[in-house]
Structure 1
C-alpha cells in the first residue's frame, strides 16, 4: 500500500517537473533588462530567452522576434537549448517507463522484480533530467550576476535574473524529488524463476529424527521342531 502511494506521488511530482521544464524552455524571460540609475519611468523592457527576444513598451505592447541564427546566442544560452531539450525528453520518457512498472498497471503483472527494475530506471532518468535543468539555469544565473558587477559594462548591457530561471530551479527540485521517490524502494526477494534461500530459514532448520525400521523376528525354538514341520508331523505337546 505504501509503495503504491509513493509511486503515484512520484508520477505526480514528475509530471509537475515536466510541465515546469517545458515552461522554462519556452519562456523568453531568462535575462531581463536591469533598471539601474535614477530614471523612475522606463518605457521599454527587454527579455532574452532561448528562442526569441521580446520588447515590451509601456506595459501594454510587446513584440517578439525569433533569433535568426543559433550562433548569435551567447555560449550559456546555446548550451541551455540542448540541455533543456534533453531534460524534456528524459523526464517525459521516464514517466512513460514508470507507468509500466507501477503496481496499478497490468504490465509485468506478478513479476515484482521486473517492476522494481523499471522504476529504478525511471528514477535514474528523472535524476538525469534534474541535472540537465540545473546546469543551464545555474550557468546562466552565474553569467548574469558576473556581468552585473562587471565595471567594464555600461548600464544598458547589464541584465537581471528572469522569472524563467526561478521556475527552472523549482523544476529541478521537483524532478529531484520524483527521482528520490522512484529510487526509494525495497528490492523484492523473488526474482521470478530463480530460487532465493533465506539465511534465517537455513539457521532455523532442524532435521526430523528418522525412526528405525522394526523387523519382526520369529525365533525357532529347536531344530527338531523344524524337522517335524518339514515332514508334516505335528510336534508333541509337552
Structure 2
C-alpha cells in the first residue's frame, strides 16, 4: 500500500471516528437504568439531558436546568468530549493541505502538516476515551458497591459509551496511520520514486543524444 492510499484510508477513518464522537456526545444513552417497580419504563442519562423511555415507544427528555448544578463528573465529561471534537476538527483542517492529493504545498511542509494532523487525531482520540472510560468506571464501581442494597436500581452501560469507545479508538488509529503515511512517503514513497524515474529518463535521453552524434 503506497502513501496516498494510506493517507486516504486514514482520512476516511478520521472522519468516521469524528462522527462517532459527535454522536456519542449528543446521545443521551450514556447510562441506562431500569427498575423492577416500573418495568415498563427505563431511564437514560446523557451529558446534556435525561430521558424516560416507555415500552410502548414513548420517550420524554429533559435538559439539565443549570450548568452549575451538574455533578463534577458530567462537567468534566462535557469539557473533554467538546475538546475532543474541537481537536479532531483542527486535525482534519491541518492534515488536509498536507495530503498528496492536494497540491497546496510540496516537500517538507506537506509531511509536517500530515504529521501534525495525525498527532492531533491521536490527542482527540485520547480526549474522547478518557471521559467515556471514566463514566464506565463509575458505573461499575456503583454497580458492585456492597453498601447499596440489592433492591436499589443501578446504572448500566448505554449505547453512547460503546460509540464513544469506537470513535476514540478509531481516532487514535487514524492519527497513527497519518503519521505512518508521512514517514513512509519521506522514507521511500511516492516522491523518491518519481525522482528515480526522472533520473532514469534523463539518463536515457542523454544516452540517445550521444548515440546520434556518434
Bin of the TM-score, shorter chain as denominator length: 0.7 to 0.9
Give the Cα separation in 2 of the matches to 1:59 and 1:181.
46
Give the Cα separation in 2 of the matches to 1:126 and 1:157.
38
For residue 96 of structure 1, report the CA deviation from its aligned partner.
Answer: 1.5
- Tell me the C-alpha RMSD between the 2 structures: 1.8
Mapped pair 1:129 → 2:124: yes
Q: Highest Rg: 1 or 2?
A: 1
Give the Cα separation in 1 of the matches to 2:162 and 2:121.
19
Give the Cα separation in 2 of the matches to 1:173 and 1:148.
25
| Equivalent position of 1:188 in the other structure | 186
Cα deviation 1:69-122 (Å, max 9, x = unaligned): 1233332221110000011111111111111001111211xx221100000000
Q: Secondary structure at the match of 1:64?
A: strand
CA contact (8 A) 1:34 1:160 kept: no
Q: Which has the higher relative contact order, 1 or 2, with Cα contacts under 8 A spaced 6 or more apart?
A: 2
TM-score, structure 1 as length reference: 0.73
**Runs of at least 5 residues in structure 2 that lack an aligned partner in the other structure:** 188-214
**Runs of at least 5 residues in structure 1 that lack an aligned partner in the other structure:** 190-238
CA contact (8 A) 2:51 2:60 kept: yes
Q: What are the within-5 Å matches in structure 2 for residues 26-37 of structure 1?
A: 26-35=26-35
CA contact (8 A) 2:91 2:118 kept: yes
Pick aligned residue for 1:43 from 40, 44, 56: 40
Mapped pair 1:167 → 2:163: yes
Mapped pair 1:105 → 2:123: no
Q: What are the within-5 Å matches in structure 2 for residues 74-223 of structure 1?
A: 74-108=71-105, 111-154=106-149, 155-184=151-180, 185-186=182-183, 188=186
TM-score, structure 2 as length reference: 0.81
Q: Greater share of helix residues, 1 or 2? A: 2
Give the Cα separation in 2 of the matches to 1:51 and 1:44.
20
CA contact (8 A) 2:88 2:120 kept: yes
Pick aligned residue for 1:66 from 53, 63, 79: 63
For residue 157 of structure 1, report the CA deviation from its aligned partner.
Answer: 4.7
| Aligned residue pairs, count | 184
Give the Cα separation in 2 of the matches to 1:8 and 1:156.
50
Q: Secondary structure at the match of 1:70?
A: coil
